């Protein structure tokens, strides 16, 4: 597995940023999401342009630390996109908001997954935190 970090600084207090993203079932700040449903601690996301759902399970939440982690529920068959042998068996992502001086926050979105997938996921996560920044600062 390989780890990458997406991050940005947002000119808003950490509690305000966390209030926007803490709901595991609300991914409206992530570009490219066609739909999302939440059933307990499992969310099912349909991304624009993909013909299969992405099923993720909350692994850990710490509201005091403004952080949560999730992983795929089961394996994710990426063979239709990447070719034979590209099955994701290990995936963990962690979203964290930390204060960064008065009135600002650092948002980090870490992913730890298969080498063939990590760069694409990192790019998606960087776009997501940049979209969040534009939304909250706009």
The domains located in the chain, with CATH, are 2-137 (3.30.530.20)
Task: For residue 15, count other CB atoms closer than 10 A to its CB.
Answer: 12
Confidence (pLDDT) at 86: 92
Q: How confident is the model at residue 76 (pLDDT cuts 50, 70, 90)?
A: confident
Taking 3-state DSSP, the helix, strand and coil percentages for the chain, each rounded to the nearest 5, stand at: 25, 45, 30
- Phi, psi angles (nearest 5°) of residue 75: -90, 155
- The mean pLDDT of 53-71, rounded to a whole number, is 97
Give the whole-angstrom CA distance, residue 23 versus residue 9: 20
- DSSP label of 17: H
Mean pLDDT of 10-29: 97
Mean pLDDT throughout 62-78? 94
Residues 91-109 pLDDT 10s: 999 999 999 988 999 999 9
């Amino acid at each position: 597995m390989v780890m990458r970090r997406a991050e940005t600084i947002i000119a808003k207090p950490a509690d305000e940023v966390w209030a926007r993203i803490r709901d595991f079932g609300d991914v409206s700040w992530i570009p490219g999401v066609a739909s999302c449903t939440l059933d307990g601690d499992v969310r099912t996301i349909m991304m624009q342009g993909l013909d299969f759902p992405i099923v993720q399970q909350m692994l850990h939440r710490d509201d005091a630390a403004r952080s949560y982690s999730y992983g795929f529920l089961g394996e994710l068959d990426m063979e239709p996109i990447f070719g034979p042998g590209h099955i994701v068996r290990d995936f963990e992502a962690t979203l964290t908001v930390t204060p960064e001086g008065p009135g600002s926050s650092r948002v980090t979105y870490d992913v730890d997954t298969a080498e063939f997938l990590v760069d694409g996921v990192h790019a998606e996560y960087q776009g997501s935190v940049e979209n969040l920044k534009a939304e909250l600062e706009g």
